[in-house]
Amino acid sequence: MSIQIPCPRCGQMVDRLARECPHCGVDLALAAVMAEQAVTSAMTIDSTAPITPEILVPRLGEYLMERGVLSQEDLQRALEYSRQPTTDGQRRLVGQALLELGLVDRETLDQVITEQILQLQNALQQSNVMLEQRVKERTHELQTALNKLAELNQLKSNFISNVSHELRTPLTHIKGYLDLMVDGSLGNLTKDQTSALDVMLRSEARLEELIEELIQFSLAASGEFTLQMEKVNFATVIDSALKRARNKAKGRSVILNIDLGTEPYIVRLDEEKIQWVVMELVDNAIKFTPPGGQVDISLQKDGDLVQFIVKDTGIGISTERLSEIFEPFHQLDGSSTRRYGGVGLGLSLVRKIIEAHGSTIDVLSEASKGTRIQFHLPIVDF
């Protein structure tokens, strides 16, 4: 059985969960909110005014007319009379004016005021019920959307994993035959053929990197991301990772300054993954630094921690876009003519690896002035 309450506008009884009044067509939730605002407004009247139940009723005159107790002419007369100040300078309310003019008696006025207050109270209760229902509906919609997003992310991760592994097999064959051609196993090569093979090998190496990024990302997304932790000299790990970076910096005419110090910093880490992190950060710094610029790589002790820092004089990143660089499959320059390549997974994976080591990666950057990116690891006893 449905619960009936009065409409806050016309007073007719309606179902408590109805959205509109079938009699006057008003949106019940909106009418209830307006009624609540009216009550709030009425209760902020000048504190010098007399406190009477009428203060809580914003439509007293109209309600009396609807009940047939008062005519339009009588209401107008009462309104004009209420504007006249009382002998003590206080504001005269409409109900007070009606009583003084003898247009209604006290019993009728009190009854009407009580009815309207009850209607307002019921309307507010109805508004709360409807708002709670809408909150539940919206929460359910958001949860459904979240579940759908999780399913899509899982499908994307599975797709990336499958495609990446399928790409790796033919790429291995390509690399094998390229190596055979380079070492002369398939016959002698001309100078031009050797140069062409060199370009092909570099491209194959880049493809191999991209595929490895995709595989690592899919593993991290599926929860299969594991670390092989061991105690090592941090400087040795970094130096091994920088071998390729030195050639890349030279090829782009970027000055590479390396200061790893002489003190051995023993830390616990996954050597393969941290080497990849170092290569990714340094490669990015070189890639986004114009010829003639410089990239500084250093290790700095900070109490019981050791900081790995990469600082460049490259194009930099505006402060409001710094958080975007860690979003997977995202490039700050998303245009079809973008200058810098990549699938947008590198820094996303870097952050996952660093966080898996119990650390954080920090970025300071300014557009056109360069970028400083760093992370720390605790020093342990050897």
pLDDT tens-digit readout, 40-49 = 444 444 444 4
306: domain CATH number?
A: 3.30.565.10
What tokens does 310 get?
């990469």
Q: Are residues 235 and 215 in the same domain?
A: no
Same domain, 64 and 114: yes
CB 126 within 8 A of CB 66: no
Pairing of strands 229-233, 255-259: unpaired
Helix (H, G, I), strand (E, B) or coil at 344: coil
Q: Let me know whether 126 and 185 are in one domain.
A: no
Domain boundary among 186, 203, 221: 221
Is 114 in contact with 52 (CB distance < 8 Å)? no
pLDDT in tens, 52-101: 444 444 567 777 888 788 888 888 888 888 888 777 777 777 778 888 88
Task: Tell me how far apart the alpha carbons of residues 163 and 279 are, in angstroms, rounded to a whole number.
Answer: 24
Question: In this structure, are 164 and 106 located in the same domain?
Answer: no
Domain end point (choices 146, 163, 186): 146
Residue 234's pLDDT is 94
Are residue 321 and residue 362 in the same domain, yes or no? yes
The pTM of the full predicted model, rounded to 2 decimals, is 0.50
Q: What is the pLDDT of residue 81?
A: 83
pLDDT tens figures, 119-140: 778 878 888 888 888 888 888 8
The verdict on 168 and 262 lying in the same domain is no
Q: Residue 335 is which amino acid? A: S
Sign for the CA dihedral angle at 238, 239, 244, 247 comes to positive
Q: 103, 127, 146: which is the final residue of a domain?
A: 146
Beta bridge partners of 372: 311, 364
Residue 14 near residue 4 (C-beta atoms within 8 A): yes
| 134 and 160 assigned to the same domain | no
CA atoms within 13 A on the CB side of 225: 22
- Same domain for 90 and 73: yes
Q: Do 287 and 159 fall within a single domain?
A: no
| Domain co-membership, 81 together with 194 | no
Q: Which domain holds residue 18?
A: 4-146
> What token pair was written down for 260?
């790893």
Residues 327 and 358 both lie in one domain? yes
Give residue 45's pLDDT.
40
Residues 96 and 206 in one domain: no
> How many domains does one find in the chain?
3
Question: What pLDDT is attached to residue 109?
Answer: 82
For 257-304, the pLDDT digits (tens) are 999 988 889 999 999 889 989 998 999 899 899 999 999 999 999 899
